[in-house]
């Protein structure tokens, strides 16, 4: 069996960082990353980007050495992706924040509102309902992170956790402040409005969960395969006929429901900003589906049926 | 380490074609030249207006009123520059340009126009003068660049005058916002209080204070960015001829 020689150069300076000899032809990039890590302990595999071309795309961990367009002496280029943090850690942190922060405002912990309101509860029942919905939403997200989602990437850059937590925690505090405020004004159309809002919210929560389960089932445990999602027996997944990323569609719906329920402008802002970000993600996902699959259903839009 | 390996053939330079930046087409260039000429003229009008008013009155006081309308018109007109970036005929970032123009428009309308009492402050003259000189140079710079006939003097001015004009403008802006604070607090200008049916509140007084604080991280970054640009552009003065 012919062994390969692998040299790894810095993508920017072209310095020789590492030379590996007697590498098995069926070695994967992931294994090469581990070997590289041994000679450079500060660069754990998750922060290594290995490519064939200094400006090219990163190779995947699953790529096999002998199937790459390299000679028996292979040259790879390395870029440091920076400190990495696992997706699971980021999700758990960014979702636990809103859960806890909202409750601080709900229970009117001291130093938020005037002292005479400390530890009092709102007289409006919609405020209690909103707390339950908000908490349910984030508990659902935490459980999905732990038990449902199958992540393609193990890690993301460390700086993302600060950015993401600022966003989630900041908005949660801003919304919670007004909803739980002693001077909160309940929805204009009262019980009708709240009931409709709750129905929309619950419908979309179930829908969003259904999509997460459907996406999970596309992917066998421990794999990173990508397949086109299709409607299943669950009616909540039939929206796949019209939309590539119905999880985002349902998420938008949930927050529209919550906005209607609380009739609170900051909630509307949060919904709007979230929608803008999810649209960007949906368009990206839609584009990569189209690129990867020739037979991708043409009727589908990224996030809003026929519209966006 | 082994002897220098051949490396893959792809490692040779020139293998990745540089992305060719599509400049504005002929029509867009003509439009941009007209735009920049008009803006240069507009700010010249403001400059002349300031000088004439000063000569007529014999004092620096209250010159704002003599140029209030052209200032509002031409400063607000700069919003078009955000559109230029968005459409792609100008290669700048929409976000950066938007931020810069919005801060000017904010000072013009949401502070100076809205709080009458600050209009007679000397700090207003300070930032108006800084803006006027900066914009005359900047717009003529763009005009000449588009026509591929950029006199070195203009380039030099653009990358040198800011050294004084930037701090001058920032001082004028901060002093003006500071002067506006008591009136905003007293009248509750642009503020929304609870309770209301949108369950929202906004305190413009606090907002203005936060704006002032934001100058602390932002101003040095922008200033040193211009300094770096200056070194890059003027640093190789010997590479460029004095005219053209």
Residue B239 predicted with pLDDT over 60? no
Q: What is the pLDDT of residues A170-215, one digit of tens each?
A: 999 999 999 999 999 999 999 999 999 999 999 999 999 999 999 9
Q: What is the pLDDT of residues A55-89, one digit of tens each?
A: 888 888 888 888 888 888 889 999 999 999 999 99
Contact A12, A79 (CB under 8 A): yes
Span A4-82 CATH architecture: Roll (3.10)
Residue A241 half-sphere exposure toward CB, CA atoms < 13 A: 7
Alpha-carbon distance of B228 to B232, in angstroms, equals: 6
Tell me the domain boundaries of chain A. Answer: 4-82, 87-292
Q: Is A161 exposed, middle or buried (0-12, 13-18, 19+ CB in 10 A)?
A: middle
What residue of A is the nearest CA neighbor of B7? Answer: A75
Tell me the domain boundaries of chain B. Answer: 26-236
Interface contact B5-A5, CB threshold 8 A: yes
Q: Does A55 touch chain B (CB under 8 A)?
A: yes
Q: What is the pLDDT of residues B66-118, one digit of tens each?
A: 999 999 999 999 999 999 999 999 998 898 899 889 999 999 999 999 999 99
Q: Residue A184: its chain B contacts at CB < 8 A? A: 194-195, 199
Of B5, B8, B198, the CB nearest to A265: B198
- Token pair of B133 as six digits: 């000189």
Of B8, B194, B197, the CB nearest to A188: B197
Q: What is the pLDDT of residues B47-58, one digit of tens each?
A: 999 999 999 999
Interface contact A266-B10, CB threshold 8 A: no
Average pLDDT of chain A to the nearest whole number: 93
Contact A267, A212 (CB under 8 A): no
Residue A152 predicted with pLDDT over 90? no
For chain A, positions 97-156, list CB contacts with chain B under 8 A.
none
Q: What is the pLDDT of residues B20-34, one digit of tens each?
A: 445 668 899 999 999
A84-86 and A73-80: which strand pairing?
unpaired
| A172 CB neighbour count, 10 Å cutoff | 23
For residue B30, give the H/E element and its range.
Answer: helix B26-57
Interface contact B16-A264, CB threshold 8 A: no
């Amino acid at each position: 069996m012919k062994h390969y020689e692998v040299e790894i150069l810095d993508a920017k300076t072209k310095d020789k960082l590492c030379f590996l000899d007697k590498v098995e032809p069926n070695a994967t990039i992931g294994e090469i990353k581990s070997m590289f890590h041994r000679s450079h302990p500060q660069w754990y595999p998750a922060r290594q980007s290995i490519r064939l071309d200094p400006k090219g795309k990163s190779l995947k961990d699953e790529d096999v050495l002998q199937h790459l367009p390299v000679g028996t002496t292979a040259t790879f280029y390395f870029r440091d992706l920076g400190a990495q943090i696992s997706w699971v850690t980021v999700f758990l942190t960014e979702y636990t924040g809103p859960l806890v922060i909202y409750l601080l405002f709900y229970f009117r912990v001291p130093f938020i509102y005037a002292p005479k309101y400390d530890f009092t509860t709102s007289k409006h029942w919609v405020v209690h309902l909103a707390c339950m919905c908000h908490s349910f939403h984030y508990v659902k997200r935490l459980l999905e992170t732990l038990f449902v989602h199958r992540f393609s990437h193990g890690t993301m850059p460390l700086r993302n956790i600060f950015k993401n937590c600022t966003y989630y925690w900041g908005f949660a505090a801003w919304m919670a402040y007004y909803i739980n405020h002693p001077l909160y004004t309940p929805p204009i159309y009262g019980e009708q409005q709240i009931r409709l809002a709750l129905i929309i919210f619950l419908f979309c929560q179930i829908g969003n969960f259904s999509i997460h389960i459907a996406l999970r089932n596309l992917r066998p445990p421990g794999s990173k395969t990508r397949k086109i999602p299709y409607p299943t027996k669950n009616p909540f997944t039939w929206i796949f006929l019209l939309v590539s990323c119905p999880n985002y569609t349902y998420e938008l719906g949930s927050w529209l429901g919550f906005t209607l329920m609380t009739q609170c402008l900051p909630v509307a802002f949060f919904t709007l900003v979230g929608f803008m970000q999810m649209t960007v993600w949906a368009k990206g996902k839609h584009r990569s589906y189209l690129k990867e699959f020739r037979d991708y259903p043409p009727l589908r839009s990224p996030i809003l049926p026929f519209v966006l | 380490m082994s002897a220098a390996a051949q490396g893959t053939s792809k490692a040779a330079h020139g293998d990745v074609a540089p992305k060719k930046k599509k400049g504005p087409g002929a029509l867009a260039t003509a439009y941009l030249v007209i735009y920049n000429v008009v803006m240069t003229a507009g700010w010249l009008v403001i400059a002349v207006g300031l000088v004439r008013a000063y000569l007529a009155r014999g004092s620096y006081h209250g010159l704002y009123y003599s140029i209030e309308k052209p200032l509002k018109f031409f400063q607000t007109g700069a919003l078009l520059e955000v559109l230029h970036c968005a459409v792609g005929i100008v290669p700048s970032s929409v976000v950066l340009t938007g931020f810069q123009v919005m801060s000017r428009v904010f000072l013009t309308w949401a502070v100076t126009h809205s709080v009458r009492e600050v209009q007679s402050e000397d700090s207003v003259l300070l930032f108006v003068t800084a803006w006027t000189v900066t914009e005359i140079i900047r717009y003529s710079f763009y005009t000449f660049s588009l026509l591929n006939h950029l006199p070195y003097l203009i380039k030099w001015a653009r990358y040198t005058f800011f050294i004084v004009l930037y701090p001058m403008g920032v001082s004028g802006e901060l002093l003006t916002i500071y002067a506006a604070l008591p009136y905003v607090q007293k009248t509750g200008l642009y503020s929304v209080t609870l309770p209301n049916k949108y369950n929202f509140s906004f305190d413009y007084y606090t907002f203005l204070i936060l704006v002032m604080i934001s100058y602390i991280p932002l101003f040095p970054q922008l200033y040193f960015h211009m300094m770096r640009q200056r070194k890059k552009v003027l640093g190789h003065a010997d590479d460029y001829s004095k005219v053209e």
